[in-house]
Each structure stands twice: as C-alpha cells, then as structure tokens.
Amino acid sequence: MSARLGAFLCCWFAWAGLAGAQPPAGAGTAAGPAAAVLAPATAIDKAGRQRMLSQRLAKAYLMVWQDVQPERGRTILGESVALFEAQLAELAGFVPSEDVRRALAALKRSWNGFKPVLAAPPTAQSAREVYDLNEAVQEAAHRLTLSYERVTGKPADRLVNIAGRQRMLSQRMAKYFLFKAFDVNAQAARMELDMARAEFSSAMHQLFVASRDDERIKAALGELDREWIAYRAALAAHDDAAALRRAAPQVIESSERILAATERLVALYEKQARTQGR
C-alpha cells in the first residue's frame, strides 16, 4: 500500500470510528496485485467496479448522514474508499492505449475531487455536493471501462461490461432512493431511479438472451433475477416522505444482497472472457 493511501485511510478510519480496522484484502501493494499485468477482461471488471463504488460510496454517505444503519454505512465507506484506491493503482499498471491513458487520468481527477468530501463529516450541503461529485466519478469510470472494452472488441468482453453495469445499477437505485427519501434533489432523483430500474430490466433480458447456452451463467442469472424481484418490491415505496424513510433499511439490505449476486455473475463472465482469450 502507498504511503499516501495509508495516511488517507488512517485519517478516514479515525473519523469513521474504525481506527483499528484494516483495509480489505486485495488492497494490493507495490509488489502485489498492483504490479501485475491485467487481462483485458479483468481490467473491464475492475474499471466497471469503480463505477459501482462511486454509487455505493454515495449510498453509504447518506446512511451516515441520516443515521440509517450508520455504523454499517461507515464500514461500507471505509472499505469502498480503500478498494477504489487499490483498483485505481492496479488499473494504472495496464494502459494498453492512448484512449485508456486519457480515461484513466480523467478518473483520477474526478476521484481526487470526490474523496475529500467523503472524508468530512456529512452535512446537508455536503450531501448536495456528493449528489454531483459521485456522478462525475461514475461517468469517468464508465468511459474508462469502455476504453478497456475497445482494446479487444470481443463479444465476451462486452458481456463483462454489461454485467458489471448491473452491479453499478444495483447501487445507483439505492442511492437515488435515499436522495429522494432525504429530499436532496428529490424530483431529479425520482427520475434517475426510474431510469435505472428500466436499464436494469433491459440488461437482464440482454444477458439472458446472450447466455442461454451456459448453464452456470444461467443459474447465476436466475439467482440475480430472484433478488431483483425482491429489490423491486422494496424500491416501490410510496412517495410519501415518511414511507420512504421507513423503507430505507429494507432498500439498503436488498441493495447489498443484489450486489453480491451481481458480483458472482460478473466473475463468471470475466472468467469466460479470459478463457476465450487464451
């Protein structure tokens, strides 16, 4: 782990009440995963996970701000910051094109604007800043993911990207639900939530069609679809502010379960793509 990352995490964990916590496994060291050359499919997976982390960080920030499972929110924040930094270091070691170089630099700039806000105690003003800053990171991470996908242009790599975007959408829906519940740009958040739900459903159909001959992936898609049914029900709370806030813990729980299911699915697509690339 770099000295800069270690110092940042010490400050972060002190504020979050996690002073004795350790960064998650996989955070990497200069001699570890960060030094390895990534396969294109693995780079797509990791860049796509950066998209998800931008949304999960915003969700967790709102949890802490509004005292909805705040300790869990602090844990998610600390782990997600550490993972984002670690993956950024890994991706910096795999720059196969000028397109990737530019996209990676843009992601670093966006992240450097977002990170200080996350490290400060949440307020109504900072929640409004998070609303915009997390989107800048998400958009930059998406451009980087597409840049890695263009390295090979293979259909299998495309499926890693699509499945990885489901991972992001799982957290995006929870994030916008909480923004709506806590009256931060509530009208815009409602529209964004509706669009994310539609995108998730459309991509599920696309993945089912593309993967009808792979039994393991079909089983993982079936598991994800079952979680999606439960998640949709949780997200369907009325627009009444009190009802939205009562539903927030259930939405958070469902968002974590569906994230775990999407991670398992993406791992299968990433393995498939690497196998086909040999």
| Mean pLDDT confidence for 194-205 | 98
Flag whether 21 is in a domain. Answer: no
Q: Flag whether 30 is in a domain.
A: no
**Structure-block tokens of residue 16:** 């979050």
In order of 33, 125, 163, the CA distances from 59 in angstroms are 28, 16, 20
Return d(Cα 19, Cα 78) in angstroms, integer: 10
CA 241 to chain centre: 26
Distance from C-alpha of 256 to C-alpha of 246, rounded to nearest angstrom? 17
Question: Does residue 25 lie within any of the structural domains?
Answer: no
- Residue 237 pLDDT grade (very low, low, confident, very high; cuts 50, 70, 90): confident
Give me the chain's average pLDDT, please. Answer: 89
Question: How many angstroms separate the CA atoms of 110 and 136, rounded?
Answer: 6
Tokens of 195: 């669009």
Structural domain range at position 247: 3-16+36-276
Contact 88, 111 (CB under 8 A): yes
- Return the closest-CA partner of residue 129 out of 196, 62, 56, 49: 62
200 within domain boundaries: yes
Q: Contact at 8 Å (CB) between 44 and 152? A: no
Report d(CA 211, CA 265) in Å as an integer.
Answer: 11
What is the CA angle 220-163-141, rounded to 5?
145
Q: Position of tokens 């499926």?
A: 159
Please state the domain count of the chain.
1
pLDDT of residue 16: 40
Instruction: Specify the higher pLDDT residue, 89 or 5.
Output: 89
Instruction: Please state the pTM of the whole predicted model.
Output: 0.86
Distance separating alpha carbons of residues 200 and 172, to the nearest angstrom? 10
| CA atoms of 258 and 2, how far apart (whole Å) | 32
Look at residue 140 and tell me whether its pLDDT is greater than 90.
Answer: yes
Structural domain contains residue 28? no
Asked, for residue 128, whether it belongs to a domain, the answer is yes
pLDDT digits (tens, 9 = 90+) for 168-192: 999 999 999 999 999 999 999 999 9
Residue 27 lies in a domain: no
122 within some domain: yes
b (16+ CB within 10 A) / e for 242-251 = eebeebbeeb
Contact status, residue 84 vs residue 197, Cβ threshold 8 Å: no
Two tokens, residue 122: 């949440």
Q: Cα separation of 62 and 48, whole Å?
A: 22
What pLDDT is recorded for position 34?
Answer: 41
Distant-in-sequence contacts of 185-190, Cβ < 8 A, 24+ apart:
185/128, 185/131, 190/239
Which stretches does DSSP call E strand in 221-266? none
Q: What is the pLDDT of residue 32?
A: 42
